[in-house]
Amino acid sequence: MHVALVILGGIVLLGLLILFGWLWGASPAAMALAARVFMPVWLLVAIVNMWVGVQHAGYSVREELPILFVVFLVPAVIAGFAAWRLARG
């Protein structure tokens, strides 16, 4: 359940960044830039989530690494698709 909530949080964060891109530039290029900026920010959040799982929840890095990939990749793929679509139009 925690993984689903973190992924949902990433999608919400992506939506907020795209909204801020729209408010800032009101153009598809600004929104595409916001979607591209999301990816390294989300990678940092996913790594912090992994660190918390290792340090405080008692999981090993080996147990948390697949979770890191899933937590990062799902919102990052959505962000990549959004950036691609916004850059086109």
How far CA 75 is from CA of 12, 21, 44, 49, 67, in Å, comes to 9, 17, 13, 14, 13
**Predicted model pTM:** 0.88
Domain boundaries, the chain: 2-88
10-45 per-position pLDDT tens digit: 999 999 999 988 888 778 888 998 899 999 999 999
What is the amino acid identity at position 12?
V
pLDDT at position 4 over 90: yes
